[in-house]
Structure 1
Amino acid sequence: MTTNPRSQQPAASAATAHRLQDAMKRLRARLRAESGQHTTGLTPTQLGVLASVVQEGPVTAARLASMEHVSAQAIAQSLAVLKAAGLIHSEPDPKDGRKKLMSADPSATELVDKLLTGRASFLARAIDQVLTPDQREDVEKAIELLERLADADLSGGAI
């Protein structure tokens, strides 16, 4: 009796998904360590919110919650910590005074740039020291595939 390759595909996809998830988790942890993120005293969530304010600001808390895929309460908690640290400030929205716009302090921009530079520097060194030229091409292909996965719209079923 031969095995149907189609019946094995979901199990293989699940195994690949678990390996990919584990590899991404380990890489994220390594990037946090290599960038010096732990020395900031901020959580990864708070740093993610800060990076969004730096990149998108001035921005409302509601927009940040949507961008970060978290609740308004979670954003409020992160924003309170970032305000207390002097990394962001808020001002009334000139279009709607009931809303507040969050903006980054120049020190926040410097911090985010430093962390991103540290991550990129580690990755560049690792690529140079660990991968062969052929493997670098493989990484380029993998990046394209990861970007496709990140952009996948599965709301209608299949891609």
Structure 2
Amino acid sequence: MTARAEPALTGADFRAFMRTWPTGIAVVTSTAGQEPVGCTVNAFTSISLRPPLLMISLAQRSSTLAAIRRRESFGVNVLGFAHRRLATRFATGGDRFADVPWGTQLGIPVLDAATAAAVCDVRQVVEVADHVLVFGSPCWCAQRDEDDPLVFFDSTHRQLG
């Protein structure tokens, strides 16, 4: 193995690189006891069609992750551009569900404003660096076609098109 002459890549360098990759925005939800919990993510992807399998990535210190580990199920709420304020709300502290309309599917909170939503059972959890990859098997999903997608690009919420 040869030594590298250039300095190591910093977190700020990597963040600047990732700002060039547009992603969707979703709110991941679960319950802690009887209370709904949730957080905004942009690390969410499909993994397999047979069987249906998706993956989310959450920070190790996430209270939503702690609830998902206890409950062994979670929801993914895909947001449209019209509901970009929910992305900000669920990315910050405080009572994220205050005055936010939501219901439940299979005991998991689902946001009324979601363009699409899925409820998943945890299939596998993999710890990687300061994050945890959670693989889920969807057991319920629904979608609406009326919202323009919300895109996160260059640290800003954008509208597609």
TM-score w.r.t. the length of structure 2 is 0.29
TM-score w.r.t. the length of structure 1 is 0.29
Q: Which has the higher contact order (CA 8 A, sep 6+)?
A: 2
Specify the structure having the higher radius of gyration (Cα): 1
